[in-house]
Structures are given as C-alpha cells and as structure tokens.
Amino acid sequence: MQRRYVTVDVFTDRAFGGNPLAVVLDAGGLSTAQMQAIATEFNYSETTFVLPPQHAGNDAQVRIFTVRSEIPFAGHPNVGTAFVLATEAAKPPPRLKFEEKAGLVPVEILLEQGRIVGAELTAPQPLKRLTQVSAEQAAACLSLSAADVKTDRHAPQMASVGLPFLMVEISSREALRRAKPDAAAFARTFPLDGSDAVYFYTRDVPAGEKPLDLQARMFHPGASGLSEDPATGSATAAAAALLADLDDARDGEFKLRIGQGVDMGRPSLLLTRVKKQAGAIASVHVGGGCVKMMEGTLQVAGEGG
C-alpha cells in the first residue's frame, strides 16, 4: 500500500528555515513498530501519523514519534500537521482538534489575505512546575559556568504544558551562543520528571535580532548522541507559561516573540500567547508560519500494493 506523506518547515516563513516535519497522511493500519521505523527513516526531530479520530467531533488522532520513541505531545508537529491538513482540504477549516496521548489539542489555522500560512496550538495540559536543579548542574549540561545562569526570576526548573523540559535562563546572548551539550552532565541530570531535554533562553537580545523578546535553544538526545532542535513549540509554550506565571500581574494576555535555531542556521520564530485570570494560567498558545517542502509516497516492507 502506498502511503502519502508531506514534509513542511515549521515556525518559519521561508524554505530551509524552522524545524522540518514529516506528516504521514495515510497511517491507518500501521503498527507502532512500523511508525517508529518510518520516523527513524525520516530522521527529523519528529514525524506525525494521521489516523481517524476515535471520538466524533474531533478531526484526527495524531501520533508523534521522535527518532527514538513516541511522545505524548509536541509543538511543531501539531502546527505543521494542522497546516498540512488544512492545505489538503477542499474547504479549509478554521480550526482542528487533535486527539493525542497528552489530551485534546485544539489548533487554529492562520490566514494572511485568505491564504493558509501557519497554525497556532493550545497546550493540552495546565502548567506544571516540577523539580528544580542547581545553577551549577544546569550550566554543566550546557558546557557553561554557573555565572552564565540567571536565577533572579527562576531557578533552573522542570516545566510542562504537555511535555516536560528543564528551563534555564542564560545571562547573555554570547553565553547562549557558546553553549554546547555535555554528555556526562546530561547523564548525571536525566532522566528527570520524564524528560531528557534542556530548553535555555536569554532576554539579552541584541538590536539586530529585535523585535524578538527572547532567543532560545534546546538540546536533547537524537539518533546518535545529543543534538539541537531548531524550533521546539512544546518547550516554548511551557517557558511562556512559566514566565507569565511568575509575572506579578494577575490578569491579562502575555505575548512573546521567541527566536530559536539561529545559531544552527535554521532561524525560527515562535509566537506565544498566555492568558492569565485571577492569578492562574488559563490557557497557553504557540504558533507560527509553515512552508510546504516535499511530498511523496512510501511503502512499508511486507505490505502489498
């Protein structure tokens, strides 16, 4: 059986930027092992598999695989999958609702002059602030010193709105650029709260990178050792929620423009919105642009057709 796939670059408005994603559109009948093998073959940070919804009123069941394992939720896979399904539809819907292991994920389709340009997801879970680690331990994971870690707003802390990450604020753009993953320090730190990844950011954004509010990077285990992700929507959403939660304002909508992937040559722009009511986080959103890159078919060994 020939199965269609589309690849897109997510959180960008131009080809060869953002984070690549493969979307397998005809995933019915594939086993978990086959999905994992296909994701490993694509070798992107994630691959999604679109299945019929299990409940009426939802648009699709979406399963998300890294090159190593299935995960319950991720940012750019939702944004990219929604973009692909909307562009494939005869009559593009204004929003989609995906069933995922972390829960239901609503995704709004973004239009510019009537053209589909991207999508914005709503995080499936409330903000969870989990284990804190020392500045020294977090810095070691990044081959930095404790002096490069800022702790005035928050200590390095695990946070999640569907997928957990270690959140670390870095003191300068120069230190952010200088960071490298340290395998021994990662092994001492992770797994922690179900995570094996570090998302780190700085408020020290130079004039040439404005109007960004933050620049960020993310390190995690890849197919062969530690690697960097060019755009991490789930981590960005958790970071935005954490920062809004720490803000003294009890009500309002907090918006951020966050860059990622710049230092690895795949610049990305992630736009976040966090709604806060009576001192509590009410909803968390992250979105951005998408660019269709490739399409084709695949056939799994042993299948007919």
Catalytic residue among 41, 46, 88, 209: 46
Three-state helix/strand/coil letters over the chain: CCEEEEEEEECCCCCCCCEEEEEECCCCCCCHHHHHHHHHHHCCCCEEEEECCCCCCCCEEEEEECCCCEECCCHHHHHHHHHHHHHHCCCCCCEEEEEECCEEEEEEEEEECCEEEEEEEECCCCCEEEEECCHHHHHHHCCCCHHHEECCCCCCEEEECCCCEEEEEECCHHHHHHCCCCHHHHHHHCCECCECCEEEEECCCCHHHCCCCEEEEEEEEECCEEEECCCCHHHHHHHHHHHHHHCCCCCEEEEEEEEECHHHCCCEEEEEEEEEECCEEEEEEEEEEEEEEEEEEECCCCCCC
Q: Is 46 a catalytic residue?
A: yes
Catalytic residues: 46
